[in-house]
């Protein structure tokens, strides 16, 4: 097909990753040397066009939010990153300076470009991607993304049926109809970073961190002049322990959770995401990306019985300790 041939013909530093039915996705890489550090700063830019018209501008906001109820419908969006799928479709991030980034599924059907924004959470306040990366899902035919709330979302390409929102050749977004919503094939697995997929079970790790706890809620009081004023809530930061979760991939249902009681326990330095050669990291890793499933298999044990599942550390497993952590 045309978009596969375009991959072979793409020059170094630039590439058309999809070119079919009038939809073209071009990703260009470049860079320049930082005068202060002397280091090379790499860049990646994405251009998406349909029938020669670039998908960049206020029309894109109306494509992503066609019902107009979201303020982002009037925002100026442009493509930020894209991935060509084996289903003759494209996943693309669109970003704006005045709205949250949006992830969309693009596909041409009967000559019309159909655009569907993929909701990453059923909770509107959590429907926000973390950056614009596409991560390896460790499953062929799937893509993984992460939300701003540190949740893992798995996307099955084959189940992303074309949306009803379309742009006909030579048309523009205001004339399109339909709506973007949570769709089959988009599964929010909840909190955690992907470790492994074993059959229909996904293993996630929640690294130890810090959380905010409300000690006293905000209150309204009357001051000496009789005016009402708000006393801000009182909060404190508390350590959150390491945890592991086992989740059913087909439904997103949590099967079992292991909360490590030792607040000093930590994870080894795990490479959760496949390295991006354009943005190399100097961080030393104890467990490389390709070795993470084996580490999970040697570390965690899921036991499932009728109506019950438990997740435990395997006998003899010792987790690292956070530096300078004092127990008790």
What strands lie across the sheet with 193-198, from one edge to the other? 193-198, 201-206, 243-248, 254-259
Please give the Cα distance from 203 to 245 (Å, whole number): 6
Three-state secondary structure call for residue 71:
helix
Per-domain boundaries in the chain: 2-191, 195-207+242-313
Q: Smallest Cα–Cα separation from 105: which of 123, 93, 95, 96?
A: 93
pLDDT at 34: 72
From residue 20, give the alpha-carbon distance in Å to each of 106, 219, 304: 12, 59, 46
| Beta strand residue intervals within 132-200, DSSP E | 135-136, 142-146, 151-156, 166-167, 186-191, 193-198
Length of the chain equals 328
Rounded Cα gap, residues 222 and 140, in angstroms: 62
Q: Six-digit token pair at 176?
A: 């399109």
Please write the tens of the pLDDT for every residue from 31-46. Answer: 777 777 777 788 889 9
Q: Quick one: tokens of 182?
A: 């949570």
Model pLDDT for residues 52-67, shown as the tens digit of each residue: 999 999 999 999 999 8
Which band of pLDDT confidence, cut at 50, 70 and 90, is reported for residue 115? very high
Per-residue model confidence (pLDDT) at position 180: 32
State mean pLDDT over 305-314.
92
Residue 321 has a pLDDT of 93
Q: Measured between alpha carbons, how far is 185 from 136 in angstroms, rounded to an integer?
A: 16
pTM for the model stands at 0.83
Q: Does position 218 have pLDDT exceeding 80, yes or no?
A: yes
């Amino acid at each position: 097909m045309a978009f596969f041939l375009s991959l072979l013909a793409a020059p170094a530093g630039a590439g058309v990753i999809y070119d079919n039915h009038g939809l073209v996705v071009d990703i260009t890489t470049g860079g320049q040397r930082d005068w202060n550090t002397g280091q090379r700063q790499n860049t990646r830019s994405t251009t998406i066009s349909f029938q020669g018209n670039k998908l960049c501008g206020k029309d894109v906001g109306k494509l992503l939010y066609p019902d107009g109820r979201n303020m982002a419908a009037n925002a100026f969006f442009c493509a930020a990153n894209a991935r060509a799928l084996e289903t003759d479709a494209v996943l693309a991030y669109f970003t704006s300076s005045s709205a949250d980034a949006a992830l969309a599924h693009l596909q041409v059907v009967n000559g019309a470009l159909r655009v569907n924004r993929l909701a990453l959470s059923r909770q509107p306040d959590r429907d926000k991607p973390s950056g614009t990366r596409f991560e390896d899902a460790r499953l062929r035919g799937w893509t993984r993304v992460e939300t701003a709330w540190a949740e893992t979302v798995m996307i099955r390409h084959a189940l992303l049926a074309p949306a009803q929102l379309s742009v006909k050749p030579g048309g523009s977004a205001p004339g399109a109809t339909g709506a973007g919503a949570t769709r089959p094939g988009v599964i929010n697995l909840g909190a955690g970073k992907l470790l492994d997929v074993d059959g229909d079970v996904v293993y996630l790790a929640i690294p130890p961190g810090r959380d905010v706890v409300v000690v006293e809620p905000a209150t309204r009081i009357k001051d000496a002049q009789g005016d009402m004023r708000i006393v801000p809530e009182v909060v404190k930061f508390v350590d959150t322990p390491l945890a592991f979760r086992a989740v059913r991939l087909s439904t997103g249902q949590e099967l079992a959770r292991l909360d490590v009681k030792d607040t000093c326990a930590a994870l080894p330095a795990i490479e959760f995401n496949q390295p991006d050669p354009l943005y190399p990291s100097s961080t030393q890793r104890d467990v490389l990306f390709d070795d993470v499933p084996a580490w999970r298999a040697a570390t965690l044990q899921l036991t499932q019985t009728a109506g019950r599942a438990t997740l435990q550390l395997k006998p003899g497993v010792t987790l690292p300790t956070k530096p300078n952590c004092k127990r008790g």
